[in-house]
Amino acid sequence: MTPTLQLFLFVSAALFCIGLLAALSRRHAIFILIGIEMMLAAANLNFVAFWRFSPQPQPPIGVMVAIFSIAIAAAEAAVGLALVIAIYRHYRTTNVDRLDQLKG
């Protein structure tokens, strides 16, 4: 028996929700970033899995999307972390609860 697509999707969904959990529940800005990265990774996993389980031969679209997504994620992480540092410098905190200046 080999794992089916459903199982991969299940793992990916679990990963996504853990990422969501991290992003929603933790107050530290870095956790939010970690959560986002995990959600992105879950999506990548989906893409690759769908590519792998689709009828072959198949142009590696899923793989391509995953690669691009990783690249974007890297950029996002860099900017996000830079933001965290900038915020920390400015407010002396990384707690996102205190960052509510955009409150309407």
Partner 1 sequence: MSTAAFIVIAILILAAALAAASLPTLIHAALSFAVAFVGIAAFFFLLGAEFVGLVQVFVYVGAVAVLIVFTILLTRRDATTPDKFNWGGVVIAIAVFNGLVWAIFRTPALSIGAPQIEPLTVKRIGEVLMTDYVWPLQCVGLVLTAALIGALILVMEEKNSKS
Partner 2 sequence: MSWIVTSLWLIPAAPLAASLIILSLANSRRSAAAALAIIGQIAALTLSILAFLPTLQAPGYRSVHNFTWFTFGEQALRIGWVLDSLAAAMLVMIALVGLCIFVFSAGYMADDKNLTRFFAYLSFFSGAMLGVVIANSLLLLFVFWELVGLASYLLIGFWIHKPSAAAAAKKAFITTRIGDLGFFVGILWLYGGSGTLLFYDGGKGCLETAGLLGLGASATFVALLIFCGAVGKSGQFPLHIWLPDAMEGPTPVSALVHAATMVAAGVFLVARVYPLFSFGAIDGVTPSLVVVVSIGTITALMASLIALGQFDIKRILAYSTVSQLGLMMVSLGVGGVAAGMMHLIAHGFFKALLFLGAGSVIHGCHHEQDIRKMGGLRSLMPISFLTYAIGMMTLSGVPFFFSGGWTKEEILHATAHWHASHIPHYLMLAGVVLTALYMTRQMIYIFFGNRRAASENVHESPPIMTLPLIVLAICSIAFSVVLTPAWRWLHSYLTGEPAHFDIALLVQPMLFVSLALVAVGIGLGFVMYGKAGQLATGRVRPTGGQNRHRTAEMDPLERAQPALFHFLENKMWLDEIYDRTVVAWSRMAAHVSDWMDRHFWDGLVRGFAGLGQLFGIFSANFDERWINVRVDETMTGTRRLGRVMSAWHSGQIQTYLGMLAVGMLALLILYAWLA
Q: Is 102 in the site for partner 2 (CB under 8 A)?
A: yes
91 binds, among partner 1, partner 2, none (CB under 5 to 8 A by kind): none
Using the structure block, give the residue that is written with the tokens 């955009």.
Answer: 102
**Nearer to partner 2 (CB atom), residue 92 or residue 97:** 97
Binding mask 19-58 for partner 1 (x = CB under 8 A): xxxxxxxxxx-xx-xxx-xx--x--xx--xx-xxx-xxx-
Q: Is 99 in the site for partner 1 (CB under 8 A)?
A: no
Q: Is 64 in the site for partner 1 (CB under 8 A)?
A: yes
Q: Which of 27, 25, 23, 20 has its CA nearest to residue 99? A: 27
Using the structure block, give the residue that is written with the tokens 């929700």.
Answer: 17
Task: Note the helical H segments in 54-103.
Answer: 61-91
**Residue 22 CA from chain centroid, whole number:** 11
**Residue 10 CA from chain centroid, whole number:** 16
**Residue 16 CA from chain centroid, whole number:** 8
8 binds, among partner 2, partner 1, none (CB under 5 to 8 A by kind): partner 1
Binding mask 16-55 for partner 2 (x = CB under 8 A): ----x--xxx------x-----------------------
